[in-house]
Amino acid sequence: MTTNAMATGQSNYRIIRYIVLAFLVIWLVFTLFPLYFAIITALKPVDEINRMVPTFWPETFRFDNFAGIFADPGSLKSLIDSIIIASANTALSLVLGTLAGYALARYLRGALGENLAFFILSQRMFPPVAILIPIFFLFDETPWGTDSYITLVLLYLVFNLPLATWLMMVFFRDAPKELEEAAYLDGYTPFRAFFKVTLPLVVPGMISVAMLCWIFAWNEYLFANLLTGTTVKTFPVHIPTFVAGSQTLWNFVMAFSLVAMLPPVLLFIVLRRYMVRGLSLGVVKG
Amino acid sequence: MAGLVLDEICKGWDFPVLDRLSLTVEEGEFFVIVGPSGIGKTTLLRCIAGLERLDAGRVIIGGQDVTAVKPYRRGVAMTFESYALYPHLTVFENIASPLRARRQPKEDIARQVESVAKLLKIDHLLDRRPHEVSGGQKQRTALGRTLVAKPEIFLLDEPISHLDAKIRHELRRQFHTLEDLRRVATLYVTHDYAEALSLGDRIGVMGEGGLVQIGSPREVFEKPADLFAARVLGQPSINEFSAEVEGSDGALSISVENGAIRFPISGPPASVLGDHSDRGISVGMRPQHLSVVRDGASSANGHPTVEGTVDVHEALGATGVLIATVGEQPLTVITSPEDHYASGEPVKIALEPENFLYFDRQSGRNLMLGQS
């Protein structure tokens, strides 16, 4: 290759780099602008929000908006309710999904296992709205009624359990069966071998699944709005209550939304390290 | 009392991997199974360990029929070809695993693990995880895990095949000296004939469906039951040719590959092969039974010779391997390491027909067995 051709190759590479960078900048603007606007809206007074030409930098900063949202005792309770429901549902999804995924991965191979696993996953593809009304009547018949923690914890299993089962099945299939067999020969029963060897191998996968389940349950609005709202009120249901007369208090809505973003973001930052796969590297001959 | 008895075990219906295989391994015996890759050696071990269900037959360990016993109650320890170390546990915990399974007291576990680790020279690695140690150290860890278990049967599946040559030799030497392995019945699987000859009290050559030949290393190497067993053992591989027996009672000669190589035979081979003049045979010539006659050497100690040209010569330090073409047939010859040959150079090769192996061409059976 001549120097000239090499230079052309290099400048081609540079052009592609700039194009990619330009796309990234545009993409960043699109994704970050709503967040930026939410933040500044949360800091504006109501009359500044209602102007026809919106301000892109608040003229007056109202940091007390964040204190204002908690003047309503329902605000804190809704966050706690959401944490309770999301956590309980995640725990249940994880326990059941792990056991079911293991059974599918190890004991139901072949056509039956494949079809059953896909059938379970297909539950997740069902449009939730289609079962909204039947679900309401169904839970209305239960001793605890519709407006309770148990209702949402159980209901979210409909969406989270198929996903948890499918993903855990995939993780268990990746975990080498030979390690379990080695544990049998060490004298562990299948039950003990599962906890000693197999389960630790899929912990990174379990954490990823937990994150997905938790965030779904945290953000769910449709069912929470229809079924609960008095005894139990999750934060997505609480947000629309920030109104004064006919006016929506957008600054409170945005401030509360930002507060509600914190738990999942913190959770992700803490657990990100564990979500990295690759614990099973180095098992194979080297 | 017998350590391990396999009674006509079968595995696989459409393609029988094990077909009515019977074998007895005595207590204290080191039995090596050697055979080409993919022939079912690992399957055999997995059947003994209970990881595979038998289709027929019985497995008896220490006089007890364990055919229906689960692997975790069989008292069998096995090393896997992939080592199968627990990646999330330290070397210490990996070795301690069988003891933890029996819920032994902590101090006992620490003592036993440390003594085994010292024996295997991995006592400085106990805090590491499997991905932080080398291949040889992984293998030692896997071996340590089976040793602490103090099983009734050791099953070792290609334990050193994937290590580099130096460590392989070092570990092979260690297998000779490990007391625990020599006390109970050990079944060692390999595709490397040198490991088999070096380690085995007895060797079983595995072919399709089961064991083709069982015997002492010397017996199996010198008197292979058939062409297959002769092929499995030996490196460089045996030279094999189809041949005809020519001539009459007085002066028999063998014509290899339509006369490319021709040599007279006498003694025991002659008396056996005389009956086969009408049927075809196969001749197996081990490379060490062929030698190059140097220029100027007038005789080949009375051995018949053939002329050929050098193809490739590999000087390997301790020996040399020469591949020559004799009448379009390739012939592998062991040479002395000092000699060097250029490609295309003419050579004279001396044959030792009395050491050659003669097989029935149809069945592959060794014709000399039961005769000498």
Residues of B within 8 A of A283 (CB-CB) are 82-85, 87, 130-131
User: CA neighbours within 13 Å on the CB side: how many for A102?
Assistant: 19
Please give the pLDDT value at position A2.
55
Give the one of B72, B76, B162 whose C-beta lies nearest to A188's C-beta: B72
Asked if A285 reaches chain B (Cβ–Cβ under 8 Å), the answer is yes
Pairing of strands B305-315, B346-351: antiparallel
Q: Are residues A285 and B81, on separate chains, in Cβ contact within 8 Å?
A: yes
Residues of B within 8 A of A181 (CB-CB) are 49, 51, 71, 80, 84
Residues with Cβ < 8 Å from B70, sequence gap 6 or more?
A: A184, A189, B50
Chain A residue with Cα closest to B129: A282
- Nearest alpha carbon to residue B194 among B32, B316, B335, B28: B32
Q: Are residues B87 and A283, on separate chains, in Cβ contact within 8 Å?
A: yes
- The 8 Å CB, 24+ separation contacts for A58-67 are A62/A251, A65/A251, A65/A252, A65/A255, A66/A42, A66/A255, A66/A259
> Do the Cβ atoms of B52 and B46 come closer than 8 Å?
yes
pTM for this prediction: 0.80
Asked if A196 reaches chain B (Cβ–Cβ under 8 Å), the answer is yes
- Nearest alpha carbon to residue A66 among A257, A266, A233: A257
Residues of B within 8 A of A284 (CB-CB) are 82
Count of residues making up chain B: 372
CA distance A44 to B6: 84
Please give the pLDDT value at position B298.
55
Residues of B within 8 A of A282 (CB-CB) are 87, 129-132
CA distance B157 to B162: 11
Q: Using N-to-C axis directions, what is the helix angle for A149-174 and A110-122, rounded to 10°?
A: 140
Select from A106, A184, A186 the residue whose CB has the most chain B CBs within 10 Å, as the one to mutate to test that interface. Answer: A186
Q: Which residues on neighbouring strands pair with residue B61, listed in sequence order?
A: B4, B64
Backbone angles phi, psi at B153, to 5 degrees: -135, 135
Blockwise average pLDDT, block size 10, chain B, 372 residues: 83 86 91 90 93 92 91 92 92 95 94 92 92 91 92 90 82 84 88 88 91 92 90 88 78 80 81 75 90 70 84 87 87 86 87 88 83 48
Asked if A176 reaches chain B (Cβ–Cβ under 8 Å), the answer is yes
> Do the Cβ atoms of B38 and B32 come closer than 8 Å?
no
Exposure string for B176-195, b = 16+ CB within 10 A, e = fewer? eebebbeebbbbbbbbbbeb
Asked if A201 reaches chain B (Cβ–Cβ under 8 Å), the answer is yes
Residues with Cβ < 8 Å from A10, sequence gap 6 or more?
A: none
The beta strand positions in chain B, using DSSP E, are 2-11, 18-26, 30-34, 56-61, 64-65, 76-79, 153-157, 185-190, 202-207, 210-215, 239-246, 252-256, 261-265, 281-285, 290-293, 305-315, 320-326, 329-335, 346-351, 357-360
DSSP summary character for residue B81? T
Using CA atoms in the order B210, B212, B218, B224, what is the torsion angle rounded to 10 degrees? Answer: -160
Please give the pLDDT value at position B318.
84
Residues of B within 8 A of A197 (CB-CB) are 86
Tokens of A28: 């960043």
Select from B52, B70, B97 the residue whose CB has the most chain A CBs within 10 Å, as the one to mutate to test that interface. Answer: B97
Asked if A278 reaches chain B (Cβ–Cβ under 8 Å), the answer is no
Task: Tell me how many residue pairs between chain A and chain B have CB atoms under 8 A apart.
Answer: 91
Chain A residue with Cα closest to B89: A197
Alpha helices, DSSP H, located in chain B:
41-49, 91-101, 106-119, 135-148, 165-177, 179-183, 193-199, 217-222, 227-232, 267-273
- Taking CA A22 as the corner, what is the angle to CA A18 and CA A25, rounded to the nearest 5 degrees? 135
Q: How far B102 CA lies from chain A's nearest CA (Å)?
A: 7
Q: How far A180 CA lies from chain B's nearest CA (Å)?
A: 9
- The reply to whether ipTM tops 0.95 is no
> Do the Cβ atoms of B307 and B348 come closer than 8 Å?
yes
Chain B residue with Cα closest to A187: B72
What stretches in chain A show pLDDT beneath 70? 1-7, 275-286
DSSP summary character for residue B23? E
Q: Are residues B70 and A192, on separate chains, in Cβ contact within 8 Å?
A: no
Q: Are residues B102 and A187, on separate chains, in Cβ contact within 8 Å?
A: yes
Asked if A135 reaches chain B (Cβ–Cβ under 8 Å), the answer is no
Which element (helix H / strand E) includes A247? strand A247-248
A35: buried, middle or exposed (CB in 10 Å: 19+, 13-18, 0-12)?
exposed
Backbone angles phi, psi at B292, to 5 degrees: -90, 130
Chain A residue with Cα closest to B162: A285
Give the one of A178, A201, A283 whose C-beta lies nearest to B130's C-beta: A283
B9: buried, middle or exposed (CB in 10 Å: 19+, 13-18, 0-12)?
buried
